[in-house]
Chain A
């Protein structure tokens, strides 16, 4: 069975500081990994995905994530936080490669302090 663990249900950073949201996965097969963002009172948005190829994945809004098989991790980073980054972020894993049958983490709420 596949699962993801997001460390920290709430993370606070200062505006301009590094954003690091942690995600560890468990999968019996090579995983396919996703990060989604949910802005307050809005739907989800796919930030980025790792399927095959380069392990450093760049997404929208300046975010990127690195797949590290040895650490079973897929942490999300952004060099400089912006107030508009305040949202809830969900890591997800799929063993099928596609968007179907993804298993989501419990989410991390990011607060950006001015």
Chain B
């Protein structure tokens, strides 16, 4: 158990709909990262938040948005869903937020949310 929780585990929805994925980081971790894993695109970094602020953006579509709340949990909002958005969405957390992490720092991943768009 990594200590990172994600809900829901599975989500099935229709094209055009909007969903929210939730992530709770490990206790003490200030940074949350979101990733997408799909058959077509492989693993992709989407976005990172650190202590409530956006720190880095990757290949995140404009239809997608995220935020990190004062209690440090994060939500990834996916709207106007398309078939190609079907994927496994992971979040991860770490203590460190930017620059080069010390050797003692590591990332911890949640089990993922599997999104199926029909």
Which residues of A are at the interface with B, using a C-beta cutoff of 8 A? 32, 42-46, 49, 51-53, 90, 92, 96-104, 106-107
A100 touches B45 (CB 8 A): yes
Complex Cα spacing A8 to B48, Å: 30
- Chain B interface size range: 20 to 34
B residues in contact with A97, CB < 8 Å: 99-101
B residues in contact with A43, CB < 8 Å: 2, 4, 90, 109-112
Complex Cα spacing A101 to B55, Å: 10
B100 touches A44 (CB 8 A): no
- B114 CB to closest chain A CB, in angstroms? 10
Complex Cα spacing A106 to B31, Å: 25
* 8 pairs from A and B in contact (CB 8 Å cutoff): A43-B4, A44-B43, A45-B109, A49-B101, A96-B98, A97-B100, A99-B92, A100-B98
Complex Cα spacing A106 to B94, Å: 24
Complex Cα spacing A47 to B111, Å: 16
Complex Cα spacing A52 to B102, Å: 9
For B45, the closest partner residue in chain A by CB is A102
